[in-house]
Structure 1
Amino acid sequence: MLEFYQQLAKTLKNSAVVLATVTSTKGSTPREVGAKMFIDADGKTFGTIGGGAGEARVYQQALQVLQTGKKQFVEIDLSGAPQRETQGVCGGTMQVLLELWSGSESLNLVNQIIDSLTSGRSGTRITPFNTDEKPYLILETQVIPSLHTTALVEPLLPPPTLLIIGAGHIAVSLAQVGKIAGFQVIVQDDRSDFATKERFPGASLLLAQPITSIQEILNKNTNLYVALVTRGYLQDLEALRLLCKYQTKYMGMIGSNKRVSTVYKILQNEGCNPEFFHQIYAPIGLDIGALTPEEIAVSICAELIKVRRSGTSP
């Protein structure tokens, strides 16, 4: 979501765009309410509302909105009903709102949204459906006003943070895949020649420092996912001694069953509550037969997504 708005801001500096937003769905559809794409004056797109013939129809309508400037809805029929003109056979329908965004007013709104997301503050974007009303942002400290017209109310939440402990081969791939999946990535490793910008160009923060450097992140981040992909069990122990004092959305540890059980036994002998171990996904990642660092990174990210979307426990 953050990357989408950053790209939108970049484009608005040079071009008007039509923003397409899924406002309602019924039945089986390829995207959810709130999914977005935009089309600029050159016909280039960013984001997706599901692809296929439905998105193609939205694209054609968006080109018209670029000319007229008039807000409009597009109904996408994916029911596959033979007696209707359908754009797919997923089984459901989608309503998509097309709005022209241009000029400093639109750019200011996008920048407000970006500032909210990057500062860790949540907000709410209100998109009125009336043709003469424009979207606006409500920050977390403000009260959402009574709505006198139909509107799409979208929570804007900061992206979840993925803290990768260890900066080896798996971490390099995991940072890349994690960013693509929408995580803000932080990498920690006490080896300064491993935790580098060259190896992790997409990371928002690199900590080439001892494990105690993650303390501040643990203290202030309430939407934290932690992946231990360290070089050995001694580093696992250091990390888990800190992590056992905190609640995270996800905690996974790489290693064989023997390595995992060895770490647990040592921590238990040190007085760690055995309940803590039930919070850890270990060995880390979904069991997809992954062998290479890249495949393992994919399996880990798949598990992160599963937890993020379903809230499952180990």
Structure 2
Amino acid sequence: MEGKLMKELAQNIEEGRRVALVTLVEVSGSSPGKAGDMMTVLECGEIMGTVGGGNLEYQLICEAKKAMDENRNMEIEYDLGPNGTLKMECGGKVRAYIKVFKEREKLVVVGGGHLGLELYTLGKFLNMHVAVLDDREEYANSERFPLADEIIHGNIGENLKKYRLNRSSYVVVVTKGHAGDREAIEAVAGREIAYLGMIGSSRKIRKSYDILMEKGVQREELDRVYAPVGLDISTGEPKEIALGIMAEILKVKNEGSGKHMREIKGIEA
């Protein structure tokens, strides 16, 4: 059972799901579970394994979901007597440890052209899960993106609507034209993700926003889009534009200031 549980845990981590591992590290006296019992918990509450069942297990599932929501590990103790927190009759005590496994950061490159190729390269360099979407077969294939974790060919808007995104997803829209960019933004805007960026001039973006709002996209959702995308550090070459975009993504991901390090940790004369 433990082997199957650990295999399932590894698969969930690899597929980008947030998951918690609950382990009973110490048990004294009477308890529904024994030391070493393990259980995995997904954000939706789905579990595998057991730590004894009953109210103890229910409370640990709730605590695991809370730990995932707060993105922190935790240790917790329960008195299983009638005067304890859980009001149980067992009379023992348990100490549990909850380890949260964060999702692997996912870079979703919407558009497989020159810029998309450079973003894919940087995403793999940073050990991100990289997905590439394009409606052109010649730009969405394993020959062009040999190390991509996912390559999705077809209608961009429809594919994005059904694509699984989460709080560790970073979406960059760099399709071949304005219409494709708008389809992508419409499909993603308002969803709970870490970052959404779109390439383009300020004039093009304003026009796209007007069209999107006419189609029902809320202005507040568009205000959260990083557009024009990236930091102002490039000459306009695709490699440098991609580097500016990834720098912005790292700034968001790591909650960095974007300042020069010498401004933050300057050396006094």
Instruction: Tell me the TM-score range normalised by the shorter chain.
Output: 0.5 to 0.7
Deviations 1:137-185 (A, max 9, x none): 752236667579x999752122122211111011111112112223211
Corresponding letter in the other structure for 1:263: S
Structure 1 counterpart of 2:227 = 282
**TM-score normalised by L of structure 1:** 0.54
Structure 2 counterpart of 1:215 = 161
Alpha-carbon spacing, 1:309–1:138, altered in 2? closer, same or farther (3 Å): farther
Native 8 Å contact 1:187 1:206 kept in 2: yes
Corresponding letter in the other structure for 1:238: E
Corresponding letter in the other structure for 1:286: L
Deviation at 1:195, TM superposition (A): 0.8
| 1:256 is aligned to 2:201 | yes
Native 8 Å contact 1:162 1:183 kept in 2: yes
SS at match of 2:100: strand
SS at match of 2:151: strand
| 1:195 is aligned to 2:195 | no
Native 8 Å contact 2:107 2:131 kept in 1: yes
Corresponding letter in the other structure for 1:139: T
CA RMSD of aligned residues (A): 3.3
In structure 1, how many angstroms separate the alpha carbons of the residues matched to 2:108 and 2:5? 30
SS at match of 1:261: helix
Deviations 1:100-150 (A, max 9, x none): xxxxx9x99975653231242513487x9xxxxxx99752236667579x9
Segments of 5+ residues of structure 2 without an aligned counterpart are 26-35, 42-46, 51-56, 61-74, 78-92, 258-269
Alpha-carbon spacing, 1:172–1:151, altered in 2? closer, same or farther (3 Å): farther
Please point out which of 170, 179, 186 is paired with 1:234.
Answer: 179
| 1:123 is aligned to 2:67 | no
In structure 2, how many angstroms separate the alpha carbons of the residues matched to 1:254 and 1:234? 13
Native 8 Å contact 2:198 2:225 kept in 1: yes
Aligned residue pairs total 200
Alpha-carbon spacing, 1:256–1:112, altered in 2? closer, same or farther (3 Å): same
Structure 2 counterpart of 1:180 = 125
Segments of 5+ residues of structure 1 without an aligned counterpart are 1-104, 129-134
Native 8 Å contact 2:13 2:19 kept in 1: yes
Alpha-carbon spacing, 1:154–1:210, altered in 2? closer, same or farther (3 Å): same
**TM-score normalised by L of structure 2:** 0.63
Native 8 Å contact 1:285 1:300 kept in 2: yes
In structure 1, how many angstroms separate the alpha carbons of the residues matched to 2:138 and 2:208? 26
In structure 2, how many angstroms separate the alpha carbons of the residues matched to 1:160 and 1:257? 28
Structure 1 counterpart of 2:107 = 162
Seq. identity, %: 30
SS at match of 1:234: helix
Native 8 Å contact 1:123 1:137 kept in 2: no
| 1:266 is aligned to 2:211 | yes
Structure 1 counterpart of 2:66 = none
